[in-house]
Amino acid sequence: MEDNTLNPKELLNEFVEEEEGFRHLNNPADGIKPITKKYLGVPTHGVGSGSKYYFTDGDAKVELIVVNEEIMRVRLAPHGVFLEDFSYAVPKLKPKNIPVQFTEDDKEFRVSTAKVNCHIRKADFFISFSDQNNVVTSSDAKAMHWEENTQFGGYYVFSTKECHPDENFFGLGDKPTELNLRGKRLVNWNTDAYSFAWNQDPLYRSIPFYISVNEGIAHGIFFDNTFKAHFDFGGEDKTKTSFWADGGEMQYYYIHGPHMMDVVKSYHLLTGTHPMPPLWALGYHQCRWSYYPEAKFRAVAKGFREHKIPCDAIYLDIDYMDGYRCFTWNRRYFPDPKKMIADAAEMGFKTVVIVDPGIRVDDNYPVFKEGKEKKYFCRRSDDYYMEGHVWPGRCQFPDFTNPEVREWWGSLFDELIEYGVAGVWNDMNEPAVFGSGTFPADVRHDYDGYRGSHRKAHNVYGMQMVRATYEGMRKILKNKRPFTITRAGYSGLQRYASVWTGDNVASWEHLRLGNIQCQRLSMSGIPFCGTDIGGFSGEPDGELFTRWIQLGSFSPFMRAHSAGDTKEREPWSFGEPFTAINRNFIELRYRLLPYMYSAFWEHHRYGFPILRPVVMQEQDVLKNHFRQDEFTYGDKILVCPVLEPGQKSRKVYLPKGKWYNFWTNEVITGGEEVEVPTPLETIPIFVKAGSVIPEYPVMQYVGEKPIEEVKLNVYYSDYEANSFFFEDHGESFAYEQDIYSEKKFVVNGEESSLTLNQSMEGLYTPRYDGYHFRVIGLPFTPTSITIDGKDITDFSISDEKVLEFKYTKTFHTLQISK
């Protein structure tokens, strides 16, 4: 007998939007009823006050919540009953108490804050948004619509907006395609995508958030719906942008700009930012599938120190476990893990281990036994356990959407942590199952009490796994920051983990793709991201590996990783000149750690992305909507990777303003492309005039030596410019109690003088006093240098015209003049 409620064919249904609306792709001969969609008609009533407004058309109801001046949330209840308000992405929706105006005339209802107006048109229920200058930024091209789902209950939900001739789209997480999403149709459904290809979709993560830029004005749409979701950015019909999902509510946040940066900041306000990572996690990480046995692990550690290549973390992939059982050790390969990890720690290495969600069905395996007894594993609709084959063999899978299961999973890390493990890598959590790909649709999930099938929980499963890992580690580590990395995720995952882009390939195309993916993740709310440097599958040559290390030095998460069937792949594996160049760049990363850590703080505290594509600097320049190579790390350092073999030079676009070539200190006026030499030793790096870039001495690992001296690289500018410099203990949560130091530098140059002011906030005092100053680009020969009124007489000026001196006390005002 066919079970009508669980027809797996339903999962394959796709919709194509056409002029006349949506239609099923399925052949009616399959026995699936053709779609009969319903549209909102006429809003006959509008009521509301404060932050909540309701508009109705017969049974159908639309809710509008004013979150703050820039953000409004729209929800649709086709038959008048909204689902309970719960979201894994938005932990707490706290509408701000702000003045809101609600007005009505013949044509429309209107809800307005000081910055945004939402218009609900009376003729047809079209919803649009405009800014305080009455410029319409987003408007419906069709009224919201839905289709009843006779198989599972609920609705397919649709929204269609106007797409303008020069409107461009960004965001959506890790999609492996051009940075600009205009013309694309994409799907969110977490998928294990080994050796994925350019344009392959979907991949591992689902981030239903995009940014539109039209005529210089940006807005964002966050479609907070965890079901399989679809986006079409003027692909099917170039005048329409649509998003729809196979279930759940039509629920989206309209996020006003006008700048892309404002949109990203507001998105972070809803979904949270990444906590400060332990400082060591910003160092270089070495991974491979797998380093085993113990002798191999030790040899890799030794190799780094012998080659004097800085490294902070070495990873253990699945072979450290006993038959791939999580929380066990293969004692033949690793007879005394505690000692091995302690010895590595002695040498300055953190050990990071992998875990997978599949738990081997084995009554002699305590984790399985306990999970089974407590009924923590996922079950099918008719109560059978969800079973699937993964690395350990036949497995069952914890329901991470159950808070009790998360708590249990988190507690399982106590032994690993007692052994000294410092980081946990969460793999296969799409969830991935051999053969079938993932769970069947009927698998049930607790969903924190708001129960649902796998159709609803699939895209959040991985995020809840890494959340369980993160929260468990945080509890066990007490005041120490956990380090976690995840493959799968949904919006908000940044509150719990860093990510890597999954199983890429050792090719130049993937180097290009990885650069785009990291920028896109960064602007989609996932700041701590990186690719498998060198490419997971296949063999890079020395040149490709070195170009990847160079780009990777400017990925927030920097890790080399490779599949087991490839040749050895450490930074010294390719001989000279590659080893020396790789060392140089990894060293550069360690020199720039305080700058990178400060950029992380700007993310954590203020919601800025860490990597910023050029379009985020100058969204009003249409050409920039199509640039995807150059980006800034924070807002001071612009990087452009070399993405082709044998390239001697390449074009780099510099946004308006003055930039210094990092390697030569040459000053270049931006606003156009420049040709930059790209010998294997360098990639184009530029520093914005007016920046103050703090620099630590090179160390083999974070904390190798106490920091006695910090270099301050001051780049002269003839305008006023600010820089931040954040420091703290680097591994505790004391920053939450204001135990940190946030310094602000203000550079201001004139024709014959330069002033640098420093102010401080926070309760942390670094152990060093004063700085080693390097002043770059002075347009005059200095004769007088004073700090807080005291003369500095001991200074030097190099051939490159870099002025250097030290001052061993803290300072407020530095004055340099002709």
Least distance (Å) from ligand MIG to the CB of residue 743? 38
The only residue of 162, 174, 232, 427 in contact with ligand MIG, by rule CB under 6 A? 427
Q: Is 576 a catalytic site residue?
A: no
Backbone conformation region of residue 80, classed left if phi is above 0, alpha if psi is from -120 to 50, else beta: left
Least distance (Å) from ligand MIG to the CB of residue 459? 18
Longest dimension (CA), the chain: 93
Whole-number Cα distances in Å, 533 to 511, 527, 586: 8, 17, 12
- The nearer residue to ligand MIG, 227 or 289, going by C-beta atoms, is 289
What is the phi/psi pair of residue 123, to 5°? -65, -35
Whole-number Cα distances in Å, 462 to 1, 358, 406, 530: 34, 12, 12, 18
Site for ligand MIG, residues 382 to 421, rule: CB under 6 A: none
SS3 585: helix
Query: Around Cβ 58, how many Cβ atoms within 10 Å?
Result: 11
SS3 520: helix
The only residue of 89, 157, 354, 642 in contact with ligand MIG, by rule CB under 6 A? 354
Q: How many whole angstroms separate alpha carbon 432 and alpha carbon 418?
A: 29
Q: Would you call 82 exposed, middle or buried from its count of C-beta atoms within 10 A (0-12, 13-18, 19+)?
A: middle
The residue nearest ligand MIG at its CB is: 289
Q: How many whole angstroms separate alpha carbon 669 and alpha carbon 659?
A: 6
DSSP letter (8 states) at residue 603: H
Catalytic residue among 503, 629, 635, 727: 503
Site for ligand MIG, residues 546 to 565, rule: CB under 6 A: 561
- The nearer residue to ligand MIG, 425 or 659, going by C-beta atoms, is 425
Site for ligand MIG contains 317 (CB under 6 A):
yes
SS3 39: strand
- The nearer residue to ligand MIG, 151 or 429, going by C-beta atoms, is 429
Site for ligand MIG contains 505 (CB under 6 A):
no
Catalytic residue among 232, 430, 471, 635: 430
Least distance (Å) from ligand MIG to the CB of residue 487? 6
- The nearer residue to ligand MIG, 279 or 563, going by C-beta atoms, is 563
* Contacting residues for 335 by C-beta, under 8 A, at least 6 apart: 294
Length of the chain, in residues: 818
- The nearer residue to ligand MIG, 312 or 503, going by C-beta atoms, is 503
Least distance (Å) from ligand MIG to the CB of residue 502? 5
Query: Around Cβ 379, how many Cβ atoms within 10 Å?
Result: 16
SS3 247: coil
DSSP letter (8 states) at residue 379: B
Q: How many whole angstroms separate alpha carbon 145 and alpha carbon 359?
A: 41
Q: Is 430 a catalytic site residue?
A: yes
Residue 523, both tokens:
């602007």
Residue 53, both tokens:
């407004």
Work out whether strand 611-613 and strand 631-633 pair parallel, antiparallel, or are unpaired. antiparallel
Binding string, 436-475, against ligand MIG, x = CB under 6 A?
----------------------------------------
Least distance (Å) from ligand MIG to the CB of residue 557? 13
Which of 262, 178, 269, 170 lies closest to 212 in space, CA to CA? 170
Q: How many whole angstroms separate alpha carbon 106 and alpha carbon 483?
A: 57
Are the CB atoms for 535 and 197 separated by under 8 Å?
no
The only residue of 76, 313, 318, 654 in contact with ligand MIG, by rule CB under 6 A? 318
- The nearer residue to ligand MIG, 397 or 696, going by C-beta atoms, is 397
Least distance (Å) from ligand MIG to the CB of residue 432? 7
Site for ligand MIG contains 289 (CB under 6 A):
yes
Which of 635, 673, 683, 628 lies closest to 652 in space, CA to CA? 673
Site for ligand MIG contains 352 (CB under 6 A):
no
- The nearer residue to ligand MIG, 289 or 413, going by C-beta atoms, is 289
The only residue of 162, 471, 503, 731 in contact with ligand MIG, by rule CB under 6 A? 503
What is the phi/psi pair of residue 251, to 5°? -140, 115
* Contacting residues for 169 by C-beta, under 8 A, at least 6 apart: 180, 181, 182, 184, 210, 211, 212, 213, 233, 241
Catalytic residue among 427, 471, 602, 728: 427
Please write down the long-range contacts of 330-339, taking CB distance under 8 Å and 24 or more positions apart. 330/292, 332/293, 333/292, 333/293, 333/294, 334/292, 334/293, 334/294, 334/297, 335/294, 336/294, 337/419, 338/418, 338/419, 338/420
Least distance (Å) from ligand MIG to the CB of residue 773? 43
- The nearer residue to ligand MIG, 354 or 714, going by C-beta atoms, is 354
- The nearer residue to ligand MIG, 22 or 490, going by C-beta atoms, is 490
Q: Which residues pair with 721 in a beta bridge?
A: 747
- The nearer residue to ligand MIG, 503 or 543, going by C-beta atoms, is 503
- The nearer residue to ligand MIG, 566 or 817, going by C-beta atoms, is 566
Q: How many whole angstroms separate alpha carbon 224 and alpha carbon 88?
A: 9
Q: Is 503 a catalytic site residue?
A: yes
Least distance (Å) from ligand MIG to the CB of residue 295? 20
Site for ligand MIG contains 359 (CB under 6 A):
no
Q: How many whole angstroms separate alpha carbon 775 and alpha carbon 773?
A: 6
Least distance (Å) from ligand MIG to the CB of residue 356? 7
- The nearer residue to ligand MIG, 520 or 561, going by C-beta atoms, is 561
Q: Would you call 726 exposed, middle or buried from its count of C-beta atoms within 10 A (0-12, 13-18, 19+)?
A: buried
Residue reference for tokens 């294997």: 680
- The nearer residue to ligand MIG, 99 or 437, going by C-beta atoms, is 437
Site for ligand MIG contains 502 (CB under 6 A):
yes
Site for ligand MIG contains 602 (CB under 6 A):
no
R_g of the chain, CA atoms, integer Å: 27
Rounded to the nearest angstrom, the gap between the alpha carbon of residue 486 and the centroid of all alpha carbons in its chain is 11
Count residues binding ligand MIG (CB under 6 A).
Answer: 10
Q: How many whole angstroms separate alpha carbon 477 and alpha carbon 469?
A: 12
Write out the residues near ligand MIG by the rule CB under 6 A. Answer: 289, 317-318, 354, 427-428, 487, 502-503, 561
User: Which positions are catalytic?
Assistant: 427, 430, 503
